């Protein structure tokens, strides 16, 4: 009987260790494009979904979840390509999609009240996983953009 309990404990440990474990996070990214003589810099908010477990998991989309239940999906990476669907495994554990920073902030603070709630990713099974937005990002994305007023002469 003790051998059966030991085997059960080992199997439970292996199941816990081998499961997929998703982590969602935000980061700041910049892309600099230099045509003939002009340099443009586009600032992006990069949303990354990373599988920290051993079991592969398919991601079909990532984005921001708003308080009213609607979503703002991140459709492309910084090169303008759609990275979804993407299977995350030990060889390729993460995928990143992005938002342009200024239009995102404007959209979130359009009516003077931020509607941002959580990060989300949609799995290949149709299930939605959510993650919390860390303090710095919540404050940065939900603070209204100051408007510059030109003085009248």
Asked whether residue 62 is domain-assigned, the answer is: yes
Q: Tally the domains of the chain.
A: 1
The string of pLDDT tens digits covering residues 15-64 is: 666 667 899 999 887 765 555 545 555 688 999 999 988 889 999 999 99
- Give pLDDT tens digits for 28-37: 877 655 555 4
* pLDDT at residue 111, as a whole number: 62
Q: Give me the residue label for tokens 């860390």.
A: 134
| Res 86 pLDDT > 80 | yes
Task: Tell me the C-alpha distance between 44 and 84, whole Å.
Answer: 18
**86, part of any domain:** yes
Q: Does residue 72 lie within any of the structural domains?
A: yes
Asked whether 108 and 142 are in contact (CB, 8 A), the reply is yes
User: Which domain does 36 fall in, by range?
Assistant: 20-103+112-137
CATH of the domain at 74: 2.60.40
42/101 Cα distance (integer angstroms): 8
Does 130 reside within a domain?
yes
């Amino acid at each position: 009987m003790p051998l059966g309990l030991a085997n059960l404990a080992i199997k439970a440990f292996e199941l816990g260790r081998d499961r997929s474990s998703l982590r969602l996070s935000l980061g700041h990214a910049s892309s600099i494009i230099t045509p003939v003589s002009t340099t443009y810099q586009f600032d992006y908010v990069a949303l990354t979904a990373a599988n920290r477990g051993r079991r592969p998991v398919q991601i079909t989309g990532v984005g921001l979840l708003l308080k009213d239940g609607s979503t703002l999906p991140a459709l492309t990476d910084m090169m303008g390509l759609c990275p979804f669907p993407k299977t995350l495994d030990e060889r390729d554990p993460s995928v990143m999609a992005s938002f342009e920073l200024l239009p995102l902030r404007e959209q979130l603070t359009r009516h003077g009240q931020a509607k941002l709630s959580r990060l989300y990713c949609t799995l290949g099974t149709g299930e939605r996983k959510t993650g919390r937005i860390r303090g710095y990002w919540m404050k940065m994305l939900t603070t209204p953009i100051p408007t510059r007023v030109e003085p009248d002469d």
